[in-house]
Structure 1
Amino acid sequence: MSDAAAVIDDLREESSELDELVRGLGAEQWAVPTPAPGWSIAHQIAHLIWTDDVALLAATDPEAFAPEVQKALDAPDTFVDVAARAIVDRTPPEALPEALLARWRAGRERMQEVLRSAPAGTRIPWYGPPMSVPSMATARLMETWAHGQDIADALGVTRTPTARLRHIARLGARARDYAYTVRGLPVPEEEFRVELHVPDGGVIAYGPEDAAQRVTGPLRDFCLLVTQRAHRDDLAIRATGPDADRWLDIAQAFAGPPGAGRAPRSEAPGTGNAPREGGR
């Protein structure tokens, strides 16, 4: 479980960093709209509460989790929004910041404890294929970072990239085939090479060194791309080869229905898309 423990440690740090960003906000700031239409900062935290809760349920009671998958199948375009809004709507406005923070902190702690204690080889059901414990922890980290980015954008805050982004990048690279299949597109036969530049000047890479189809750019930009938090036109991500270029239009690190992603900055504000349930 050493690999899982390392990812869970990074998940804890990512959660703490986002907690630090929102803990001092007043009630009026929790109502500030984020780039996802209809989602305030409160809805973003409510979404993390819900996803932590369902992850805990999946890890501890797979049979009870199964109906959650059916809900997603029955309403793929709305089930995420309904869950987040229900949490916010059930919370008295005057108690919103404190209540949501307390619930998020307690829920993520329980979920992380369960993941840490899971036996080696455990497979956890999810909205996509079942996942290992390290993969589930990576998915939770990806969700936390991506929705934290929505919050940071709403507040006009620029976050410093951390080494934790390598987990999200790896997830995004591994999810290449899923991005095609979820859209009913043929999966390229060739493997891709992904080379990402990290802030300290190093490079992390996935795929064969001699691959003809290649994707290169900054680590943070790749993470923004695969979490669909920025349009490719606004990022320094470059593709070599037609298949790799097509991937940049559809890449997603999360399971579930394909998201439409964000509009380019050149388009009118408010044209972004609501976040899908991410990173399985």
Structure 2
Amino acid sequence: MLVSAFEEGCVADLNEIVGDLCAEGDVLDALVADLTDEQWAAPTPASGWTIAHQIGHLHWTDRASLLAATDTDAFAAQVAEAWKNPAGFVDEGADAEAARPARDLLADWRAGRSRLADVLRDVPPGTKIPWFGPPMSAASMATARLMETWAHGRDVADALGARPAPTARLRHIARLGVRTRNFAFDVHQLPHPTEDVRVVLTVPDGSVWTFGPDDAAQSVTGPAEDFCLLVTQRIHRSDTALTAAGADADRWLDIAQAFAGLPGAGRATTTTTEAGR
């Protein structure tokens, strides 16, 4: 399950992030709106997950997010139940949703993500929303939902042979990927890097996004889309055009993970279809 692994305040305005979250959902909605039942059952790059599982998981997580933002006691009970099966509750939720009629799942996902957007916009400044990991601000939760919608949407697109064009919305995911660098080392039980890393990412319109000190001795450079795919574990490093200068930067690209939980399995090279979630 992709959820924000780092809470340190969001630079972007909450309304902007929620708007981008809605836009990312609309892109995915357009991909699945007219699918047949057979297409809903099509396998995706995530091992064992169909398109229905992908949408079902997004709906399950949107619903959990909504509960966390509106009923903390009920959400605490859900967390306690989930941790009875920490390695399997994500798959269980996806399985249950995927077993429903596609038209019902689609309608509920649409209603749920719309409701969540409205609720997040109204969260008072300074409020922390509980989660399966550390509590988050509304802006961080919206960023996490955008990251997950985009990543699972990419799995759906891959299953359908589609290729949505990268957009400026990737900046939210790229920023989160940078800010979770130490977290990736934590979950692999490795010491934090001792040096800063400069991240320089290019986007199709010719823009360049930069993160980190200008004078950092180590760096990561390459396409923004590749970086976002890597930190959400939707691509193997060897299948990207990313380059690293420096030992810490190089190691980071091997273990990058912008979502909470145990180390993800990652995605294998293009010769196989095994994928992390």
Structure 2 match to 1:201: 206
Structure 2 length normalisation: TM-score?
A: 0.93
- Shift in CA distance, 72/193, structure 1 to aligned 2, threshold 3 Å: farther
Structure 2 segments unaligned to the other structure (5+ residues): 1-9
Please point out which of 72, 80, 91 is paired with 1:62.
72
Give CA deviations for 1:166-209 in whole Å, capped at 9, x if unaligned.
01100111111111112221111222111100111111111101
CA distance in 2, matches of 1:172, 1:186: 18
Structure 2 match to 1:28: 38
Structure 2 match to 1:251: 256
Structure 2 match to 1:233: 238
Give the deviation of 1:132 after TM superposition: 1.1
Output aligned runs, 1:118-157, within 5 Å: 118-157=123-162
Structure 1 match to 2:268: 263
Q: Which has the higher contact order (CA 8 A, sep 6+)?
A: 2
SS in 2 for 1:125: coil
Moved over 4 A (4+): none
Output aligned runs, 1:76-225, within 5 Å: 76-89=86-99, 91=100, 96-225=101-230
Structure 1 segments unaligned to the other structure (5+ residues): 276-280
CA distance in 2, matches of 1:191, 1:131: 25
* Matched AA of 1:60: T
Give the deviation of 1:122 after TM superposition: 1.2
How many correspondences in the alignment?
A: 267
- Shift in CA distance, 74/245, structure 1 to aligned 2, threshold 3 Å: farther
* Matched AA of 2:24: E
Answer whether contact 2:60 2:94 (CA < 8 A) is retained. Answer: yes
Give the deviation of 1:72 after TM superposition: 4.4
- Please provide the CA RMSD for this pair: 1.4
SS in 2 for 1:51: helix
Answer whether contact 1:115 1:137 (CA < 8 A) is retained. Answer: yes
Q: State the identity %.
A: 61
CA distance in 2, matches of 1:204, 1:274: 26
Structure 1 length normalisation: TM-score?
A: 0.92
- Shift in CA distance, 246/68, structure 1 to aligned 2, threshold 3 Å: farther
Give the deviation of 1:241 after TM superposition: 0.5
Give CA deviations for 1:85-138 in whole Å, capped at 9, x if unaligned.
01222x2xxxx2211110001111111111011111111111222111111101
CA distance in 2, matches of 1:74, 1:190: 39
Asked whether 1:48 is paired with 2:58, we answer: yes
